[in-house]
Amino acid sequence: MTVPDPAGVAETARLVAGGEASARAVVEAALARIGDRDGGLNAFSVVLADEALAEADARDAKLAAGGPVGPLHGVPVAIKEEIDVAGAVTTFGGDANSTPAAHDAEVVVRLRAAGAVVIGKTTMPEFGAFPFTESDSRGVTRNPWDRTRTPGGSSGGTAAAVASGMVPVGMGGDGGGSIRIPSASCGLFGLKPQRGRVTTAPHPHLWWSLGTAGPLTRSVRDSALVYDVIRGNVDGDLYTAGGDDSFVGAAERAPGRLRIGWSVKPVSLGVKPDPVHVQAVEDTARLLAALGHDVRPIDPKYPDPTAAFVPQFFAGIRTEAAAVEHYDRLERRTRQTCRLGSWVTPKVRDWAIGQGEKVSAKANRVFQDVDVLLTPAIAHRPPAIGRLEGVGTVRASLRSMPSIAYAAIWNVAGNPAASVPCGIAADGLPVAVQLVGRTDDEATLFSLSAQLEEARPWPMLAPRRCGPALH
């Protein structure tokens, strides 16, 4: 049979586990797509072709021997540069490390245990500091929908790889919107989970209370499937989350009648949302009302997250920079960021984490009156590439504000939040909205997002000619 270009996560796993396609053939087709498409996008920093083929052969041998197979059996997955993959250098998007990781990060261990095949690592700005995937060492990563535009960031390489159809899923990280921003820019579904839902091992945290890891996919159910594989904690994790609902189960059931409040008011002062995004929120609100939900405009009365976010941002960058092998090889802007953040002592950092708890309490008051908050995902349309070229930390931060204007507060608060595609705007680029849920309530977001996906299907791939068929 011919497999779609490419099949999604669930479909790929079903085909391989059912013997309709071999894991090796799936991986060979993915490698061919990478070879054909990545030259114009720069999504991958390294392709682990030999390792992936060997891993695929092991998956096929296990299936042939009648061994049990996992829910991701034979699925190619891309891994963001900041996540350890044994045998590959964890570059954090730069050149300051040179020794390959000795062990997989725990999320990679879980992906492999579920049958996934690691096919390569994806580009990111150094340490994920800004929402544009550009670096001195890796160059510029481009949006598959319009190669003159950024795919967002910091998980922009992952987003470009998935949106272009090179792989069905890629792992990203989100410390201020870095799953949701590239998902919104590239037409993907990307959910930032509740703080502590996914282990950060071997590290106790990712940017202290701000960061978490998660997948970028082309469908809601595919995201839920991967999350059900990687969720959970290990000893040493600084944060844990509550609840144990299956996310696949949530994605497959109707959400019931929900109270949904919508707002286009940005958290960040001085940021004005693009009319395309305002229209997307209003259109989505009308659709949700037509689906039977209680939908109304609200004022979220956002608290100011700056005092909590900024010190943890600096502390996160400085912590990662202090651990690299060759500090002198860091980008000039990164070293400038470290100097500018020297005032963030451990005492200041801990104070900021405490401020974050206050922000969370205030931000969550909105859920006394609604079950889900609907907002724009990003304020601007994906800008032209080159946003980081020749600029230092301050200007880069100012240019980042429209990207994080609706996203970063939920990193501070810890709540789950998802970027949900809406379709394609007149400029040819994807449009998305953000759904924010109560603490520990990813299940409602998966259920509601799946309902939206069914009612308003979105294009699954950027407009690129199909690569080699898989038989």
- Please state, rounded to an integer, the average pLDDT across all residues of the chain: 95
Q: Is residue 471 part of a domain?
A: no
Q: Tell me what pLDDT residue 7 has.
A: 87
Q: Is residue 469 part of a domain?
A: no
For 208-249, give the secondary structure using H, E and C: CCCCEEEEEECCHHHHHHHHHHHEECCCCCCCCCCCCCCHHH
For the cut 90, the answer to whether the pLDDT of residue 464 exceeds it is no
Q: Is the dihedral of CA 413, 419, 425, 427 positive or negative?
A: positive
Three-state secondary structure call for residue 407: coil
Length of the chain: 471
Three-state secondary structure call for residue 413: helix
Count of structural domains, the chain: 1
Q: Is the dihedral of CA 401, 285, 223, 12 positive or negative?
A: negative
Instruction: Please confirm, yes or no, whether 265 is among the known catalytic residues.
Output: no
Model pLDDT for residues 16-34, shown as the tens digit of each residue: 999 999 999 999 999 999 9
In our burial notation (b when 16+ CB lie closer than 10 A, e otherwise), range 220-252 reads: bbbbbbbbbbbbbbeeebebebeeeebbbebbe
Model pLDDT for residues 21-69, shown as the tens digit of each residue: 999 999 999 999 999 999 999 999 999 999 999 999 999 999 999 989 9
For the cut 60, the answer to whether the pLDDT of residue 469 exceeds it is no
Catalytic-labelled residue, pool 45, 80, 223, 419: 80
Catalytic-labelled residue, pool 22, 45, 135, 154: 154
Model pLDDT for residues 71-90, shown as the tens digit of each residue: 999 999 999 999 999 999 99
Report the percentage of the chain scoring pLDDT > 70: 97
Q: Is residue 247 part of a domain?
A: yes
For the cut 70, the answer to whether the pLDDT of residue 467 exceeds it is no
Per the structure, the complete domain to which residue 402 belongs is given by: 9-455
Q: Is residue 2 part of a domain?
A: no
Catalytic-labelled residue, pool 22, 135, 155, 178: 178
Instruction: Please confirm, yes or no, whether 154 is among the known catalytic residues.
Output: yes
**Residue in 225, 204, 137, 214 with CA at minimum distance from that of residue 178:** 214
For the cut 80, the answer to whether the pLDDT of residue 2 exceeds it is no
Q: Is residue 362 part of a domain?
A: yes
Q: Is residue 461 part of a domain?
A: no
Written as six digits, the tokens of 119 are 């096919």
CATH number, position 283: 3.90.1300.10
Rg (CA), the chain: 20
Q: Tell me what pLDDT residue 67 has.
A: 86
Q: Is residue 4 part of a domain?
A: no
Model pLDDT for residues 337-392, shown as the tens digit of each residue: 999 999 999 999 999 999 999 999 999 999 999 999 999 999 999 999 999 999 99
**Residue in 371, 468, 342, 393 with CA at minimum distance from that of residue 26:** 468
Model pLDDT for residues 209-258, shown as the tens digit of each residue: 999 999 999 999 999 999 999 999 999 999 999 999 999 999 999 999 99
Distance CA 313, CA 253 (A): 37
Instruction: Please confirm, yes or no, whether 178 is among the known catalytic residues.
Output: yes
Which helix (H) or strand (E) element contains residue 77?
strand 76-80
Return the half-sphere exposure (C-beta side, CA atoms, 13 A cut-off) of residue 353. Answer: 17
Distance CA 343, CA 125 (A): 23
Model pLDDT for residues 270-325, shown as the tens digit of each residue: 999 999 999 999 999 999 999 999 999 999 999 999 999 999 999 999 999 999 99
Q: Is residue 301 part of a domain?
A: yes
Which residues are CB-contacts of 170 (< 8 A; sequence separation ≥ 6)?
Answer: 77, 78, 79, 80, 122, 155, 157, 158, 159, 161, 162, 215, 216
